[in-house]
Amino acid sequence: MNEITASKIWVFTWWGNMNQKKQVLILCTGNSCRSIMAEAMLNAKLGDCLEAQSSGVKASGKVNPHAQALLESKGEWRAVYHSKVIESVLNTAFDLVITVCDHAKETCPMFPKAVKTIHVGFDDPSGKAILEYEKTYDLIEKELLPMIKYELCK
């Protein structure tokens, strides 16, 4: 291999890695409300630099209808969002795992690849007034979004 070919390969590899989106997992217990809201928000607001997924350590199997309605009203809902068990994403090479509830933090599984994990807890609005969903969304936007942007979207 000549020097010019080697440098072209290096530039292509470097550029390809620079354009690759970071992979983020939002983890909570039921994967029905907070983690789904965070997944949708991150994909909508930081989707140019990352791809977010969510799952639950004990997934409920359904998305909270109030959380879904809120995301729809903000234009952030995608039909692909659904409640997922942690086993469905364990083999994904995440760049960052975020736990958004204390139970998920305490029971966060080991991932095959070493991955940075952070915890930013939010109260669960499930079963509360509709206004609480908006408050939780606003807190996620205020507290979590800037942290993720700093960590992964430099």
**Does 101 participate in catalysis according to the annotation?**
yes
| From 33, 49, 101, 153, active-site residue | 101
Non-local CB neighbours of 65 within 8 Å, separated by 6+ positions = none
Place of tokens 């979590």: 144
Cα separation of 28 and 98, whole Å?
Answer: 9
Q: How far is CA 69 from CA 12, 30, 147, in A?
A: 43, 18, 26
Extended strands (E) in 57-120: 96-99, 116-119
| From 33, 49, 108, 153, active-site residue | 108
**Does 28 participate in catalysis according to the annotation?**
yes
- For residue 119, with 0-12 CB atoms within 10 Å meaning exposed, 13-18 middle and 19 or more buried, which class applies? middle
> Amino acid identity of 86?
I
Reduce the DSSP state of residue 58 to 3 states and report it: coil
CA angle 62, 138, 130 (to 5 degrees): 55
| From 28, 33, 49, 153, active-site residue | 28
Residues carrying an active site annotation: 28, 101, 108
